[in-house]
Amino acid sequence: MSQAGSASPLFAVVLAAGKGTRMKSNRAKVLHTLCGVPMVNYVIGAIRPLVPERLLVVVGHQAEQVRAVLPEDAEPVLQPEQRGTGDAVRVALGAIPEEEGVLLVVNGDGPLISDRTLGELLERHRSAGVGATVLVAELPDPSGLGRVTEDAGVVRITEERDATEAERRNRLCNLGLYAFELPELRRAIEEISSDNGQGELYLTDVLEIIGLRSRAVTYRLKDLEEANLVNDRSQLARAEEILRRRILDAHMKEGVTVRDPVSTHIEASVEIGRDTVILPGTFLRGRTRIGSDCVIGPSTDLVDTVVEDGAVVEHSVGRGARIGAGATVGPYAYLRPGTVLEEGSKVGAFCEVKNTRVGARSKVPHLSYVGDAEIGEDANLGAGTITANYDGASKHRTVIEDGAFTGVNTNLIAPVTIGRGAYLGAGSVVNKDIPPGKLAVGAPARVIRDAPGARSGEAERPRANTEG
């Protein structure tokens, strides 16, 4: 057993093999996400600053799916049959050949636990020179948690399902975090029995065994917010609410204005620059990055979308898009993957844009679908402009060059190119390329003369009223 102040090697195990029946889900409990991150990865993130020699994750139910979300520094260890937490730790011990050291064991359903608390637990364990230490808290509502009693170096934990009425009145609860001396744990794990209400091997039983040999102690949690373990959907929502508030507070401390934190949802991976304003009902998810001095919302949902400085996005949806500096989007626009809006461009009301680059200062003001297109600079697409990009078998591209102008209710049958400075009359159906500087009208469209302002065969860039 380590002596006080010793720095024996640290190993960590996350228990993530269970199904989580109280979640009533087809998905393993630890795979449920909070603010865009799988529950188990919050636990791993809290352990990482302690720099363990190895960080093991015991997987079992839906093992492959759990493996798929683990970070590279977490080593999965398979528990073939889910026979309880004691069996899970026994499996993990089989993957640790070292005889000496401290093993930190953490349940995978505590996403609010902090590295600070884990560090304090280890400090308590090492300074006490004991065989085992368990994190506990006295909770106003101990429902679903094991109850803890401590007497003269012996810690007993009774699972709620096995507890008497008197034991259930005890509000000192086990939070599922332990520090063990490896030699003591290896001996004790072989002595536990499945003679209980669930027929499982409880890790908690080793505490009493170790306590009788070399003492076990408790460490009381200081921040009760971290005691929010997740066993059902209500607890999941409660934990996510706390994490969401932490994320919002962090952004606000860095100079972001959030008008209504209650209705704003920002995932852990999102980045936001200072002096940006987030309006009510906004969801920012995935790898979304927002620059400085932007206005996002209200009622906007962005996933994996980049918004550069000074852009405005109102009542709109973005998926895998890039919105350039000073660009404006919405209200009620839908930017699909591959959309790139260059500096100062606009996609307005009731427009859908997919796999398209909209050049600097170009505008798609309202009621348009633009897919698989390349739009140059200073172009204007009139209301109801549609790129017909799919012929029933393949997608084709539309090119609209600098300064081109399309009238209302224009259909562009791809593949087609509208030349620099060309004009299309209202209601045109374009199935052939239109040369630069020409005006085309009709269905199918035909060139009738030079475009307005054309000179020497090339049109000047039009200054269109894009709001009417």
CATH number at residue 59: 3.90.550.10
Residues with catalytic roles: 366
According to the annotation, is 369 in a ligand binding site? Answer: yes
Domain harbouring 269, CATH code: 2.160.10.10
Q: Is pLDDT of 150 > 90?
A: no
List, for residues 9-29, the tens digit of each pLDDT value: 999 999 999 999 999 999 999
According to the annotation, is 334 in a ligand binding site? Answer: no
According to the annotation, is 367 in a ligand binding site? Answer: no
Confidence label for 453 from pLDDT (cuts 50, 70 and 90): confident
Confidence label for 459 from pLDDT (cuts 50, 70 and 90): very low
List, for residues 315-348, the tens digit of each pLDDT value: 999 999 999 999 999 999 999 999 999 999 999 9
pLDDT given at position 2: 42
Does residue 63 sit in the same domain as residue 187?
yes
Provide the Cα torsion 75, 76, 79, 82; round to 10°: 120
Residue 467 within any structural domain of the chain: no
Does residue 283 sit in the same domain as residue 410?
yes
List, for residues 273-320, the tens digit of each pLDDT value: 999 999 999 999 999 999 999 999 999 999 999 999 999 999 999 999
Q: Answer with the residue of higher pLDDT: 44 or 155.
A: 44
Average pLDDT over every residue of 199-220 = 91
Q: Whole-number mean pLDDT of the chain?
A: 94
According to the annotation, is 346 in a ligand binding site? Answer: no
Q: Is pLDDT of 457 > 80?
A: no
pLDDT given at position 158: 87
Q: Is pLDDT of 54 > 50?
A: yes
Six-digit token string for 386: 């549609």
Confidence label for 161 from pLDDT (cuts 50, 70 and 90): confident
Q: Is pLDDT of 144 > 90?
A: no
How far apart, in whole angstroms, are the C-alpha atoms of residue 90 and residue 86? 6
Q: Is pLDDT of 38 > 90?
A: yes
Does residue 176 sit in the same domain as residue 266?
no
Residue 72 within any structural domain of the chain: yes
Does residue 268 sit in the same domain as residue 358?
yes
According to the annotation, is 179 in a ligand binding site? Answer: no
List, for residues 128-138, the tens digit of each pLDDT value: 999 999 999 99
Residue 160 within any structural domain of the chain: yes
Residue 123 within any structural domain of the chain: yes
Q: What is the domain count for the chain?
A: 2
Tallying the residues shown for the chain, one arrives at 468
pLDDT given at position 160: 83
Q: Is pLDDT of 381 > 50?
A: yes
Residue 240 within any structural domain of the chain: no
Does residue 165 sit in the same domain as residue 271?
no
Does residue 119 sit in the same domain as residue 164?
yes
Q: Answer with the residue of higher pLDDT: 40 or 213.
A: 40
According to the annotation, is 393 in a ligand binding site? Answer: no
Q: How many CB atoms lie within 10 A of CB 172?
A: 18
pLDDT given at position 72: 97
Q: Is pLDDT of 464 > 50?
A: no
Average pLDDT over every residue of 365-376 = 98
Does residue 210 sit in the same domain as residue 278?
no
Residue 192 within any structural domain of the chain: yes
Does residue 187 sit in the same domain as residue 299?
no
According to the annotation, is 233 in a ligand binding site? Answer: no
Does residue 94 sit in the same domain as residue 215?
yes
Six-digit token string for 87: 């069996």
Does residue 411 sit in the same domain as residue 321?
yes
Q: Which residues constitute the domain of residue 118?
A: 10-227
Average pLDDT over every residue of 415-431 = 98
Does residue 67 sit in the same domain as residue 214?
yes
Instruction: Using a pLDDT cut of 90, give the percent of the chain over it.
Output: 85
pTM: 0.89
According to the annotation, is 159 in a ligand binding site? Answer: yes
C-alpha of 7 from chain center: 36
Average pLDDT over every residue of 158-174 = 87
pLDDT given at position 455: 56
Pairing of strands 102-107, 172-181: antiparallel
According to the annotation, is 85 in a ligand binding site? Answer: yes
pLDDT given at position 182: 97
Q: Tokens 């562009």: give the residue.
A: 412
According to the annotation, is 454 in a ligand binding site? Answer: no
Residue 449 within any structural domain of the chain: no
pLDDT given at position 166: 87
Q: Is pLDDT of 1 > 60?
A: no
Residue 238 within any structural domain of the chain: no
